[in-house]
Amino acid sequence: MSALESQLYQGLVAMGLMRDPRFDMMRRPRPRDPVFVVNDRITVQVKYSTRRAPGPWQFTFSLGELEAIRARQQGNQLHVFVLVCHTEVIAVIGPEDLEYLLDLSDTARQQWLRVDDRPGSGLRVTAVGGARSRKIARSHFPRVIYDIAQQERWASGGGSPGAEPASERSVAAACHDDEDGDLAATSSPKPLIVKEKSGAVDAAGGPRAGAGSLLS
């Protein structure tokens, strides 16, 4: 995957996050990694597939990512994954979904999730090689991310997303599997911080993750 394609998919997610009226600010701990910290307490990690419709779309979770997910869950830090399926649909995998679909007790092997877009029945996310699956509403991005953040478990803020687990470096490496793998530049550029300005954010809601292209 080219750097331009990577920026396209990350941009789709960033714009959707900023269109929710509950958006306040966004920063990127490492500019080249597909990870955003929203409102200073929601860690949003982006995964993307270039496979075209009708799918299915498969996403790999590396050993480092599994270790980081477990560390954040144990530290009560809100960490969600946004799975971008080309320009067709977006699926949000929240903490409870991660705990249910992934075996976080086994971080010695890679794991996979598959997203199916079934006409008339919405999206279904399945743990590849397992019997567990979850149905996800088509239009839940980005609303569901902010809804999860308002739940009692996360409303207190939990751990600070700035306190990265020790395995975060291996997560950063995994983010570049489709690029050049060079991490030398990840710590040198200044992290991006975006703040909402009055009238600058459309409060009508994020891009509908429904039928048709997300770019249309």
In eight-state DSSP terms, residue 206 is S
Pairing of strands 42-49, 78-85: parallel
Mean pLDDT of the chain: 75
Question: Hey, what are 78's tokens?
Answer: 């809100």
Per-residue pLDDT 10s for the chain (216 aa) are 678 888 888 989 999 999 999 999 999 998 888 999 999 989 999 999 999 988 899 999 999 999 988 888 888 889 999 999 998 889 999 999 999 999 988 888 899 999 999 877 789 999 977 779 999 887 889 999 999 999 867 766 554 454 444 334 333 334 433 332 222 223 333 445 555 544 433 333 333 333 344 543
Q: Which residues lie below 8 Å from residue 3, measured CB to CB, with a gap of 6+?
A: 179
Render pLDDT for 104-151 as a digit per residue (tens, 0 to 9). 888 888 999 999 998 777 899 999 777 799 998 878 899 999 999 998
For the whole prediction, is pTM greater than 0.85?
A: no
Neighbouring C-alpha atoms within 13 Å toward the C-beta of 61:
27
- How far, in Å, CA of 160 to CA of 154, rounded? 11
